[in-house]
Structure 1
């Protein structure tokens, strides 16, 4: 393997390198070739090879080097080729270097290395298996997860990947007890609360951990490399500042050993308290939204919320719907101005602006104890009439 330039991947990589690692779906080792290195974006082009087999000792063991051609579903002969995070996962190692077998750049991007995943899917397709279900993968609603973690619920040792979002609370002790063999864990909340986060250190096989918008963790809950020696991906977004800082200090040096670390939006307790009733809180720290725009957006939403609640709390008459329509129109115009000459309201933000209004109407229905279908329609009609986003 040739030397990389200063500022290259934490685990040295060069164009042409063949890297190999184990794949649980196939029960064999798989291989890929590095086709490019982008130091600006910290990405490498990863071209999956069509080979799998026992642990190879050299590139000769791979036989004829061929890229993986995908024909399953609607791939129609495309190569399994993507730009990944440039941290070579710790389960992979360098096997040797060969001339590039495909030199065209890939226009697909991801963070996670998935070498072997498409090969497993393609082979299942070739066997006539059209319905793909990854063994050991489980995605659960908060209610389903609560039932799975309840007293007396069975241990699910066969589950390797668990995902649950929209959580208001979760006990990591129960997760570890119920799903002891997890290799991937994804937990997302809505300012939800986590207890016993330090128990995740008991998941000794864990490779991927994703936590977002969950709180309650402290620095004492920090995961330890000696306890989680196989961790390859650590992604934390909108978590307690104290926890984020401890995790960053502990894991940032592990990139050289094959752990990709991304920790964003570390939140202090004051932020959590201030944003408990702010449906636009996720805009804070979003890459293309400035701090100034975030503050103005929150102020406008709070103004609109107050106006809606004032109208709905008053005696209802023939003018109510018209007033709500005007409030919706003013809301749209205000965000038209905020979007300005350098627009930032994209599909996700547009949906969040509508969801914020829906939260206000849901709140009012709960307070008044009756449906507000006509009022909701009037508010949204005003928005639609005036919005440019």
Structure 2
């Protein structure tokens, strides 16, 4: 079904356990792919919206966290997902356009706004006031701006977590050790949306009374982890004990679990709804099914890597979202048939075997017309994989903003620099430092030359170039006592992108 201006839809929001609503306010035709402008509405209900209620609808005004008060608009695909229910058509509530692009989602912005409004007004006002203030406060013996949003205890060392209360709008906290009164602080503020905690030396962790949305946690020696019921994303770091017990307090279906390379053997998350696995070298889909049979979302990223028993995906009957990137080891015959995944509404595959890509597009072409978000791109021939296993710039091949020539030049420059560094390992410390500096110079100048006049190197590409160089510098043996940071700083000074 194609969206039309004035259409009102509702969708079930798993976070709220209620329905939320939106309106299509216009169709933007000035693009080769027309977009629908979607407006979030200030409505939620236990039952789907009824046509008789359309005349009373108002826009949702979003002002949670750092957002300035305003309506919430996004450009989305004109194809309406199957999980959205058409209610009726009324005069659009606004004729504004927007530069924001998104997928249809499931009313998450409405959920965030309603959760924000549950926070006592005096705390919300203090948050907003601090965010706009230039006032200075004393923290850990130093003068700091009261408007601090992020804090890392490596940059600003402190002992007692209650000292953090001087920052009313702090939302991101990175800790590299356990701090006194940490639980007390987290329970006293509803604003810490992201917490990273490493080297804590705790065997039991209890965040049940906190308001954290994203938790990145070092699982080394952890026997039990208790989560808060509003946690949205859990990122596991460090060594994970076999059969570590995780209590999600009934929040498993909306929780997103992210882990590296393999599926950890955990207790307590059998009803997990969302799983992301990154840096995959080899992963057995049967293991995923046995551990988490009720997944509604599965995202898999390769290093690149191989997937075993890919055909097992057809047994995830509740699956709504499936994405893969840089993953191989399966064939066209392993692509799940559309009738085996009746709830699928988003199917993305990026960088996959050529024969599988052709069949995936063919099988799901009809479902795309019915609202499936289908995106299958970068089909790879076997010889491509053989040439690119060690290429950190493989994702550049096929990107719209990068020419094939520059993708090849980047791979060649990486291999040449890496080979030069391997050769230097046999030299003396003085020769190593001089040679490494020269290699960094040539590497950086190579990308400067590629970008000159074309300006294709943006945030993602810049990060790719930096990460590839960082990996090359890791080849320098520790006994040479060479400061890698100095070489990375030299790179920063030389680069023009």
Matches within 5 A, 1:1-389: 11-39=1-29, 40=31, 41-56=33-48, 58-62=50-54, 64-110=56-102, 112-128=103-119, 131=211, 132=213, 133-134=231-232, 135=251, 136-142=254-260, 145-148=262-265, 154=267, 156-314=269-427, 316-365=428-477, 370-374=478-482, 376-377=484-485, 379-380=487-488, 382-389=490-497
| Partner residue in 2 for 1:5 | none
Cα separation, 2, equivalents of 1:388 and 1:29: 49
Cα separation, 2, equivalents of 1:293 and 1:202: 41
* C-alpha deviation, 1:268, in angstroms: 1.7
For structure 1, the 5+ residue unaligned runs are 1-10
| Residues 265, 36 of structure 1: alpha-carbon distance in 2 compared, 3 angstrom cutoff | same
Cα separation, 1, equivalents of 2:2 and 2:389: 44
Question: Alignment partner of 1:272: what SS?
Answer: helix
Question: Alignment partner of 1:189: what SS?
Answer: strand
For structure 2, the 5+ residue unaligned runs are 120-189, 192-210, 214-230, 233-250
Cα separation, 2, equivalents of 1:37 and 1:69: 21
Cα separation, 1, equivalents of 2:356 and 2:480: 42
Question: Alignment partner of 2:471: what SS?
Answer: helix
Conservation of the 8 A alpha-carbon contact between 2:62 and 2:72: yes
Conservation of the 8 A alpha-carbon contact between 1:191 and 1:276: yes
Conservation of the 8 A alpha-carbon contact between 1:329 and 1:385: no
Deviations 1:177-199 (A, max 9, x none): 22111111111121122111111
Cα separation, 2, equivalents of 1:140 and 1:324: 36
Cα separation, 2, equivalents of 1:56 and 1:378: 59
Conservation of the 8 A alpha-carbon contact between 1:42 and 1:86: yes
Cα separation, 1, equivalents of 2:69 and 2:485: 47
| Partner residue in 2 for 1:7 | none
Conservation of the 8 A alpha-carbon contact between 1:327 and 1:379: no
Deviations 1:333-378 (A, max 9, x none): 222111121111222222222221222233454xxxx455516456
Cα separation, 1, equivalents of 2:330 and 2:53: 47
| Residues 183, 284 of structure 1: alpha-carbon distance in 2 compared, 3 angstrom cutoff | same
Deviations 1:281-325 (A, max 9, x none): 1211122110011112222222222222222223x0534322221
| Residues 23, 325 of structure 1: alpha-carbon distance in 2 compared, 3 angstrom cutoff | same
Cα separation, 2, equivalents of 1:157 and 1:44: 38
Cα separation, 2, equivalents of 1:380 and 1:123: 44
Deviations 1:204-254 (A, max 9, x none): 111111111222121122122211111111111112222222211111221
Conservation of the 8 A alpha-carbon contact between 2:263 and 2:288: no
Report how many residues are paired: 368
Question: Alignment partner of 1:146: what SS?
Answer: coil
| Residues 372, 89 of structure 1: alpha-carbon distance in 2 compared, 3 angstrom cutoff | farther
Question: Alignment partner of 1:48: what SS?
Answer: strand
The two structures, once aligned, show a CA RMSD in angstroms of 2.2
